[in-house]
Structure 1
Amino acid sequence: MSGAAVEPRPPIGRTLVYLAWVVTMAFFFANAEIQIEGGAGWATSLPTWRIENNIWLDLFWGGRAMTGYHAWVFTFMMLVFFSPLAFQGRWTLRDWGLALAGLIVFWVCEDFLWFLINPAFGFENFNPVKAFWHKHWLWGAPVDYWGGLAVALLILVRRHWPRRAR
């Protein structure tokens, strides 16, 4: 047989353990955010700046307000997920993709868990009327959930495709 050797794929088990860790982190962060926001989702009662109704927010933020709280929290969590790359000094595309997929899964799970375990909400209030800051819904969930999970899944599937060695 001729041809280039196939580079080994990362173990799927390691990726699944990583995703379980990400969901665990989302659970703890959702609980912390419930303590911060209470029943007033999307920082509606927090003493923070807000930018509402902006074309850029419609395009890149799902139409939600940008708040100082979310700007700092989202940036901090991005740094958390990408910190292993910085610590290792290794910025491979596969590692970068895993960090990005983890960050996406984290925010989708954290947001859903916020509704699920928040005593002021619960699953029965997970709808466009009560969660008014999520402007676009599809199949019973915010469109961002579906789009984010699709992107994360594509990244993770691509991570485990065999690659030809150069």
Structure 2
Amino acid sequence: MSRGVAEPQPGIGRTLIYLAWVVTMAFFFANAEIQIEGGAGWATSLPTWRIENNIWLDLFWGGRAMTGYHAWVFTFMMLVFFSPLAFQGRWTLRDWGLALAGLIVFWVCEDFLWFLINPAFGFENFNPTKAFWHKHWLWGAPVDYWGGLAVALLILVRRHWPRR
């Protein structure tokens, strides 16, 4: 965009379409991950390295194990969500925020859908006992879900605040 020309205000409709796309991607990825992991969540039966019981995991990873599988797949999905910024060569705070909010919504939806559509789980097994890798729960869901969705909502609301 040329200098002095204000960037158009992003439309809420476009953001909602983007979020619908993100949820659709989460659905497909959840299905792929079910094919990879089966009923053994958090890569517990995959031939991958694991780091467990570490103070840094408690602080930044919800107490869950860090696995080679998750290190690679989380990095890959981050690159997917930020690739439009790289291809456009435009790293505005607004675009960066949308990519980050999309990534957060993707992971929350993908994880929840993994439970819902996985034949080995289903909604009835979406609890702290069966989903033992989610160590902290609040209001019937992992705390990560609530925190992540709150951050994504704040980013998206800020994205649509009028500019001064």
**TM-score, length basis structure 1:** 0.95
CA shift, 1:83, in A, is 0.1
The answer (yes or no) to whether the contact 1:7–1:163 under 8 Å persists in 2 is no
Change (3 A) 1:125 1:4: same
1:101-128 Cα deviation digits (max 9, x unpaired):
0000000000000000000000000000
Q: How far apart in 2 are the matches of 1:154 and 1:5?
A: 27
Kindly report structure 1 stretches of 4+ aligned residues shifted beyond 6 Å. Answer: 1-7
Q: Tell me the equivalent position of 1:28.
A: 28
| RMSD of aligned residue pairs (Cα, Å) | 3.3
Identity %: 95
Q: Distance in 2 between matches of 1:39 and 1:128?
A: 15
CA–CA separation in structure 1 for the residues paired with 2:3 and 2:50: 57
Segments of structure 1 that go 5 or more residues without pairing to the other structure are none
Partner of 1:132: helix, strand, or coil?
coil
Deviation at 1:2, TM superposition (A): 25
Shift of the 72–3 alpha-carbon distance from structure 1 to 2, 3 Å rule, reads closer
Q: Kindly tell me: are residues 12 and 52 of structure 1, through their superposed partners in 2, closer, same or farther at Cα, counting changes over 3 Å? A: same
Task: Give the structure 2 partner of residue 78 of structure 1.
Answer: 78
Distance in 1 separating the partners of 2:84 and 2:102: 12
Q: Deviations over 1:31-73 (max 9, x none)?
A: 0000000000000000000000000000000000000000000
1:126 equivalenced with 2:126 (yes/no): yes
After TM superposition, give the deviation of residue 5 of structure 1 in Å. 11
Aligned positions, number: 164
Give the unaligned 5+ runs of structure 2: none
Distance 1:65 1:117, change over 3 A: same
Shift of the alpha carbon at 1:4? 13
- Measured in 1, the distance between the counterparts of 2:145 and 2:69 equals 21
CA apart distance, 1:144: 0.0
Q: Deviations over 1:136-159 (max 9, x none)?
A: 000000000000000000000000
Q: 1:51 corresponds to which residue?
A: 51
